Chains A and B, each alone.
Chain A
Amino acid sequence: GNSVTQMEGPVTLSEEAFLTINCTYTATGYPSLFWYVQYPGEGLQLLLKATKADDKGSNKGFEATYRKETTSFHLEKGSVQVSDSAVYFCALSTPKARQLTFGSGTQLTVLP
């Protein structure tokens, strides 16, 4: 079956620090990979995605590269802001899957 393992939180950083949130996966078939972000009191929203090996998804200064050899899709940002404080979810889908598989989420707090 499909599964996603995310870095345990919470993560607390100072503004302008470098961010990495680790995500690894197991999948039956060739997955598409996603990062979703959930701000306080809101639903999840798509942050970025990658659909094939070595693709890099990017948005709002965040990046993640689809690494098939290490089955990973780590989220990075070079300089975080207070407004990046949120919960980040790694997710995958496969052609035969009937649902997105989400990781458990990582709470990020950025301090001024």
Chain B
Amino acid sequence: DAGVIQSPRHEVTEMGQEVTLRCKPISGHDYLFWYRQTMMRGLELLIYFNNNVPIDDSGMPEDRFSAKMPNASFSTLKIQPSEPRDSAVYFCASSKTGLNSPLHFGNGTRLTVT
């Protein structure tokens, strides 16, 4: 089992640029979650999908953020345009049956916006 795979591990970009983060969930997992982690705000749920359909995007900070899941094995989180306050570690996680089953996290993408 390869686990949840995220890419890139690190991303450094300039303010105003578009950033795309990628995630491959564990095969057979029906739920996919995007989290953001900062020192100030801790872990925040941005959006989650069930069977590739977005269920709750109330955590997405603003319209600059968008997420897609075109198929069961791939998801993207896009920030356009990026701002310095978006600097954080972004985690993707998947689970088999939702919130009461263990979440399997990827190793995260550390985003720095200068």
Asked whether A32 and B100 contact (CB < 8 A) given A43-B107, A98-B56, the answer is: yes
Indicate with 1 or 0, residue by residue over B49-60, a CB within 8 angstroms of chain A CB atoms.
000000110110
Q: Give min CB distance, B33 to chain A, whole Å.
A: 8
Q: Which residues of B contact A102 (CB under 8 A)?
A: 42-43
Q: Are A45 and B99 in contact (CB under 8 A)?
A: no
Residue of B nearest to A89 (CB): B43
Q: Are A43 and B55 in contact (CB under 8 A)?
A: no
- Contacts of B36-85 to chain A: CB distance below 8 A: 42-43, 45, 48, 55-56, 58-59
Q: Which residues of B contact A104 (CB under 8 A)?
A: 42
Q: Which residues of A contact B91 (CB under 8 A)?
A: 43-44
Residue of B nearest to A94 (CB): B99
Q: Which residues of A contact B99 (CB under 8 A)?
A: 93, 97-100
Q: Give min CB distance, B78 to chain A, whole Å.
A: 20
Q: Are A105 and B55 in contact (CB under 8 A)?
A: no
Q: Give the interface size class of chain B.
A: 20 to 34
Residue of B nearest to A51 (CB): B100
Residue of A nearest to B106 (CB): A43
- Other 13 A-B pairs with CB < 8 A, given A46-B103, A98-B58: A43-B4, A43-B105, A43-B106, A44-B43, A44-B93, A45-B104, A98-B99, A99-B56, A100-B99, A100-B103, A102-B42, A102-B43, A104-B42
**Can you list 25 A-B contacts with CB-CB less than 8 angstroms, sorted by A residue number?**
A32-B100, A36-B103, A42-B105, A42-B107, A43-B4, A43-B91, A43-B93, A43-B105, A44-B43, A44-B105, A45-B105, A46-B102, A46-B103, A51-B100, A93-B100, A97-B99, A98-B48, A98-B55, A98-B56, A99-B45, A99-B59, A100-B99, A102-B43, A104-B42, A105-B42
Please name the 6 residue pairs, one residue from A and one from B, whose CB atoms are nearest each other, closest first: A43-B105, A46-B102, A93-B99, A99-B45, A98-B56, A44-B105
